[in-house]
Amino acid sequence: MRATTLVLCLTLMGCTTFPALDGAISPELENADFPALVPVESLLARSAPVVADPIQATQALESSVSGLRARANALQRRSIIDAGTKARLLAAMK
């Protein structure tokens, strides 16, 4: 069964039409040299360091957490169905 499925999948893959990629790359890019490989350390040295104030980041996260907890508590307290619908459901279950 597995072999049949594999053969079927491989056969179907052969029926795929590939997108036309001829001419997708300009002649300038096709004849261009490969970029020079450089060590990662030199790239990292040129990038701007990320400076974050840990106190501000902690306060922002705590604010988000408290906001999310408040929303979760409000959703838990809210009834999903209104009183009329609840009464009809309870009456139908008796």
User: For the segment 51-85, what is each residue's pLDDT rounded down to a tens digit?
Assistant: 788 899 999 999 999 999 999 998 888 877 888 89
Q: Which residues contact 79 (CB under 8 A, 6 or more apart)?
A: 86
Give the per-residue pLDDT at 55.
Answer: 92
Buried b (16+ CB within 10 A) or exposed e, 51-72: eeeeeeeeeeeeeeeeeeeeee
**Domain tally for the chain?**
1
**What is the predicted pLDDT for the residue at 6?**
87
pTM more than 0.75? no
| Residue 21: inside a domain | no
Domain residue limits at 74: 53-85
Residue 80 lies in a domain: yes
